[in-house]
Structure 1
């Protein structure tokens, strides 16, 4: 064969994780014809995590086909990665197969955290993954409609799950610990509390409202109160897979991969992290679908810049809202400053519900748009203060050894 007719080898990029950030990154990488993209994910369908509470309540199945959100030409490999070998540039799969890469995007996402409460692992039902939500749905289907249900955790997932079930007519208690909706502005928090009250949800927060023990049919609270609970649902806290730490890569205290501001691993410039499992400059964004999309597109841009021999740009996007559904007809859309701190302004009621539904539908549309036209995704919110926070964090880390000396 004439040497001039030999096709050059494509650049192999492996994306580990097929959630919002991973799919966005994979789609964007197809901007270059000389890049071969492999997406490795343990499930054959895309999970809409923002709809898992609807799955629990029976109003949505929370999945879409990858053909609807993934660009043509991307290889979807349904498997789990058990180890990353940075020195050899390869990943080992659960099936024993090894897949090599030139660049790797680490997008493993997040899941339920270890509750750390006696009895919770045995008797409480987590909801952060598709399989957990499906199991919970089955448990609820088997429980009488009058059986007491307790949801532990006052964040968005806890609020939304409690509201979905109460709207079905179930008696629901939401145990929040210190505070209902910690992220929300006090005005937004009052609107959420009113919406939950209208649905009949009993909200417990403040002193004495932390769960200390879970049994098969009850919970013990820190204030000494015992709550009967036929079905206990645990939504408090998120954790990340330990793949990075098991692979010898540097992580933060939670287990997120440590990166610089370009989202490049502090250990290896061929590894780029994105989504919930990324900790740029040890200042990770709030775990959310909102953050996943701009992080995903930026991770791809970092890899594409390195392929082109250019210096990747620093990440500077922000999040400017949180939306919470309160059943199918009510909701709160909490606006925020560009550094992701809640402001006084929020929208509620049916308008809040419509905005929440639009926000839930938007990510799949954005992924599909990027699949059709890679490189088109933009994010309108910039966080001008992030650079100052990064500089302050670097200063703190530099000062730490001298304080310990």
Structure 2
């Protein structure tokens, strides 16, 4: 390809920012990042926003390369054949390549009453809406957190540490990702904070009302504020515009993160489903996928075949208030190991990781392409061969 190449990135989260910054490696590439907010959201700190210990935002100039043009708007339509996107404000932007990095948000709350009376916190606006509600509630008011994943655990611990009366409704099991030894450590810390943990098949929410949560076994829990952290969903932008997605709504791609429908569209982060075997939705995956999505675009511009994606994991880090945390170590294929780091060291490591991610974004902005030390997962290649009968899909 000769001349200037226009690349549009939809979504300014962890993966989108990493992709946009890396694309500035080439002087003949013009990068436009479209995001609905003027500031970057640290989603891994939204539970702190709810408790009042952090605002969970970073100014884009701190982490975005100067050459990246930021457009504060929302994409409402993708015209793949015409290579353009339509904005909510009414304008359109053309592209040579499109990076689909729309991220994830709250899952549909299909439990009766949940959409009306439970408060999700997967986005900045949701967390900001909840914070004054909690501030106005008496400190003794019952708070119910629904969802046993990291967001639920972190939110419950953060509020309990501040003196709130918190019940964490887990469904089947507390911390499904955790190894049983790590799970026991988390349970001990939550108990020390005074969190009531309900788990097992009967601890499934069946109905939410304005001031109660009803469970499958017939119990009714008083709940002045109900916080919903059960699951994540993906925006339906790709599906609405005729692009192939998985059941959740993630854009289906090959192993180079290229859309199975259009080699000018590349997906990354939580909204990507390479080979219909997506990685766990996480910041850890996003900061690895972003640069590799950009690498696919840069390879195509250079007339080269893109490399297959290669993402590995170290584990999962969960804060348990400001004074404790846990780092659950994992194998590169994201399977939890028996090893974990807890207590104050766990809290210190979690905070170090949160700060280091912002540093990674800023470093990529200043030195695009300098960091490529991803944790490789050799198991994925074998899994793909098994799933695909020996063929690794790539375009």
- TM-score normalised per structure 2: 0.98
* Displacement after TM superposition at 1:318 (Å): 1.0
SS at match of 1:395: coil
Indicate the residue corresponding to 2:324 in structure 1: 330
Deviations 1:263-290 (A, max 9, x none): 0000000000000000000010000000
CA RMSD between the two structures: 1.2
SS at match of 2:318: strand
The reply to whether residue 62 of structure 1 matches residue 56 of structure 2 is yes
Q: 2:136 matched to 1:148?
A: no
CA contact (8 A) 2:146 2:168 kept: yes
**d(CA) in 2 for partners of 1:391, 1:253:** 22
Is contact 1:294–1:379 with CA below 8 Å preserved after alignment?
no
Q: What corresponds to 2:344 in structure 1? A: 350
Given the alignment, which residue of 177, 191, 207 partners 1:213?
207
1:5-404 correspondence runs (5 A): 9-395=3-389
**1:315 aligned counterpart, secondary structure:** coil
Aligned partner of residue 385 in structure 1, secondary structure: helix
TM-score between both structures, scaled by the size of structure 1 = 0.95
Distance 1:239 1:280 in 2: 17
Secondary structure of 1:287 counterpart: coil
- Measure the CA separation in 2 of the matches of 1:395 and 1:161: 43
Give the secondary-structure state (helix, strand or coil) at the position aligned to 2:206.
strand
Deviation of the 1:207 alpha carbon: 2.4
Q: Which runs of 5+ in 2 are unaligned?
A: none
Provide the rounded CA distance (Å) in 2 between the counterparts of 1:246 and 1:153.
Answer: 29
1:6-32 CA distances to partner (integer Å, 9 max, x unpaired)? xx8420000000000000000000000
SS of the residue corresponding to residue 14 of structure 1 reads strand
- Kept in 1: contact 2:384–2:390 (CA 8 A): no
Q: CA deviation at 1:105?
A: 0.2
Distance of 1:317 and 1:287 partners within structure 2: 12
Q: Give the distance between the partners of 1:316 and 1:169, measured in 2 at CA.
A: 43
Shift of 1:359: 1.1
Q: Distance in 1 between matches of 2:340 and 2:119?
A: 31
Determine the C-alpha separation between the residues in 2 that align with 1:320 and 1:329: 22
State the shift of 1:362 in Å. 1.3
Query: For residues 183 and 223 of structure 1, what CA distance do their matches in structure 2 show?
Result: 25
Q: Distance in 1 between matches of 2:338 and 2:23?
A: 39
SS at 2:226's partner residue? strand
2-structure distance, mates of 1:390, 1:307: 27
**Matches of 2:388 and 2:287, distance apart in 1:** 26
Per-residue deviation at 1:142? 1.2
Alpha-carbon offset, residue 319 of structure 1: 1.2
Gaps of 5+ in 1: 1-7, 398-405
1:316 deviates by 1.6
Distance 1:392 1:177 in 2: 32
1:360 positional shift: 1.1
